[in-house]
Amino acid sequence: MGTFSLLLAFLAIPLFSTDSTRPSLRDWDRPIILDRSGGFQIGGRIISNASQHTLSCDHGYMEYFIPWKPRRTSLVMCYTYEPTFLDQANFVNWKFGPRYPNWYPGGQFPTHDLHAWQQATSARYFEFDNYANIVLQARAASIAADSGKVADSIVYLTNSAGGLRAQLTAVLSNTTNIKAIVAYESFGFVFPDNINITADTQGGFGPVVSRLSAELINLYEGNAEVLMLALDASIKGNTHIPFADLGNRKTAALLEKVLKSAGLDGYARGRWRDWQP
């Protein structure tokens, strides 16, 4: 199995005052009790014609789940829906195996679960179609971040090219609501235009580019770290989508540890009965 890089970029580290009745860490087998769920549109524009017909376009959609006992910080995960013929080619790229459908031995993906494979490859966006669409998606996400509807403390939790979109969202945002980005194997990184970064025919993927990004963030008084799940955390057998792997509890526990160390795991006071998107 290939090594797995994880970029942890903390854009700001606030100190939160948590509820004194904070519950202890729950058992993994206990369900999360939801207070409510729903969704809303963000960004976009409305085009009209002489016949008074209108078309809504270029907007995003956010679905939310509010626990009965919510955290102070919202986790935002971005994706969309587009099955693609590239999925079988991605079998190799995503570290599932040498060729479809031959799996690597010792991998943590549930290889005998066809439904898990379909979920991992069919419900997602086209990874990197063109830069204009990535900017369009990031602008809609930045509007959501600035609106306050998602909360004033946001952590983007991303995988693959979602990391690039989250980084660009943070750049386009006009507030400090985005506190951190946790990017699992990010494809693409945002660099300023004055540090001699040029186009790379090898692509924006891998531990070399992620370390360069972390170095630059830390240079300007940010707080970024690159963690190799296998080498640094002894979480082995990972594929490109670690939360679909059988070892996802270890990955989730590591995420909790990271959020706690950054002061981003506090509970909100009381229940968010008055919170409305």
Q: What element of type H or E holds 168?
A: helix 162-172
pLDDT in tens, 3-57: 344 556 555 333 333 343 444 454 556 777 888 888 887 777 788 888 888 887 7
Q: What does the pLDDT read at residue 5? A: 44
Q: What does the pLDDT read at residue 110? A: 76
Count CB-CB contacts under 10 A for residue 267.
18
Of residues 58 and 92, the one with the higher pLDDT is: 58
115-124, 187-196, 268-277: which range is least confident on average? 268-277
> What are the CA-CA distances from residue 197 to residues 98, 189, 204 (Å)?
32, 11, 11
Q: Quick check: 115 pLDDT over 80?
A: no
146-150, 229-233, 273-277: which range is least confident on average? 273-277
Q: Quick check: 173 pLDDT over 90?
A: yes
172: left (phi over 0), alpha (psi -120 to 50) or beta: alpha
Question: How many residues does this entry show for the chain?
Answer: 277
Q: What does the pLDDT read at residue 168? A: 93
Which of 175, 174, 202 is CA-nearest to residue 188? 202
Q: Which domains does the chain have, with CATH numbers?
A: 5-18+69-261 (3.40.50.1820)
Please count the helices (runs of H) and the strands (runs of E) in the chain. 7, 7
